[in-house]
Amino acid sequence: MATLPVISISPYVLKETSTERERLATSEALHKACRDFGFFYLDISSFASDAEMNDLMGLARKFFALPQKRKDLISIRNEDSVRGYQRLKENVTGGKADNHEAIDLYAPVDNPDKTKPLWGTNQWPSDVKYFRSTYEAWIEKMKVLGMIVMEASVLFASPPLYQVLIPSFFQSMAIGLGMTPDEWEGLKGCVDHSFWVMRIIGYPPLPDDHDGFSCGAHKDYGCLTFLLADPTQDALQVFVPRSLAAANQMASSSTIKLPKEEGTSNGVWIYANPLPGCVVCNIGEMWEVWTRGMYKSTLHRVIHRGNNYRVSLPFFFEPNFDALVKPLAAVVRAQEASGEKIDNDIYTPVVYGEFLKSKVTNNFSETTPATARL
């Protein structure tokens, strides 16, 4: 049965040995995946080793295996209410407690002040040797990957080259985002100090009587998510329009009713099971604003009913905190040329940091002290 697209990023990682044709093919695949699904597998085997990924998983498991009182030493209550450890069911999605525990890390800020929303200091476990250094190295690596994927997505080579190499791609006007070099520099200036987020999540099996999900249906907030997960099957689910699922021969993952966010939308949930050497990549709501709906952020959720303890490590490559996110001129040009009608009221400019604050306000249970909430 077919699954989400699998795209190798190696032509952009190994530029010295790849060809222009290979890079263009990668960009075409990225564009189609972002446009059609908002979710895809990114093969990063040329960029990150299995040993690196296994080390991250092992360290996460060591932390989650600690006694509760040791994990609570880095509770979010010590900081700005978002940086640090959250107990099982302390995270809330759609008004219901999620059945997972986690450590959340955010981009460091100047002059930290834990009384200000999102402006605290990251907390690191001292009980697990090499934890901080290993995760800091991975974070730096994911920041580089974020810029690589951004560049591969904008695809600003000249149109004649597309006409020669990929004529059908050019004729369909699907030449990535078709940005000029100057426009790419402007977009790059919105992500060059990414206000990234790293989550280290542990999922015990979902109890049969739990009124909710391991992680409820949601869309990611920012730009790009790179999810590294252990081999657990049938946990992460992605919402796909029924017509697209049928065209790609995708099977529905479950008969569980759609979340309220979708109402009566005609779609199905499919599994996004982990693949060796790959991260699952999806686009966030800011990419949807930038592309004025050409790329749409996709609902996803976790329902883990297996017998094992699942570990998931999403890295969120986000815009700069003070970035003004608004529809890109290249996208507006393409949509106007095609005669596509867009509801501009949906994609109004937004400052990312303010948008993020509004989103995380309801992410935690009412047991979080009121003075620490955003």
What pTM did the predictor assign? 0.89
Residues composing the chain: 374
Q: How far apart are CA 149 and CA 287, in angstroms?
A: 12
At 167 the pLDDT is: 40
Count of other CB atoms within 10 angstroms of residue 365? 15
Any idea of the CA torsion for 151, 154, 155, 160, to the nearest 10 degrees? -150
Is there a contact between 103 and 91 (Cβ–Cβ < 8 Å)? no
pLDDT at residue 362 in the model:
58
Decide: residue 309, CB within 10 A, 0-12 exposed, 13-18 middle, 19+ buried.
middle
Measure the CA–CA gap between 106 and 327, rounded to whole angstroms. 26
Whose structure tokens read 């739990």?
A: 210
In one letter, which amino acid is 331?
A: V
pLDDT, residue 366, reads 46
At 363 the pLDDT is 59
CB 91 within 8 A of CB 363: yes
Helix axes 131-154, 50-64, angle to 10 degrees: 130
Question: How far, in Å, CA of 171 to CA of 300, rounded?
Answer: 33
Domains within the chain, CATH numbers bracketed: 6-160+167-251+265-364 (2.60.120.330)
Question: How does pLDDT run along the chain (374 residues), one tens digit per residue?
Answer: 557 999 999 999 999 999 988 998 898 899 899 999 999 999 999 999 999 999 999 999 999 999 999 999 999 999 999 999 999 999 888 788 899 999 999 999 999 999 998 999 999 999 999 999 999 999 999 999 999 999 888 764 334 344 444 443 333 223 467 788 888 889 999 999 999 999 999 999 988 777 778 999 999 999 999 999 999 999 999 998 776 666 666 766 654 444 444 544 568 899 999 999 999 999 999 999 999 998 989 999 999 998 999 999 999 999 999 999 999 998 888 888 888 777 767 899 999 999 999 988 655 554 433 222 22
pLDDT of residue 20: 87
Cβ atoms of 83 and 104 within 8 Å: the answer is yes
Query: Residue 246's pLDDT is what?
Result: 65
Using a 10 angstrom Cβ sphere, with 0-12 exposed, 13-18 middle and 19 or more buried, the burial of residue 243 is: exposed
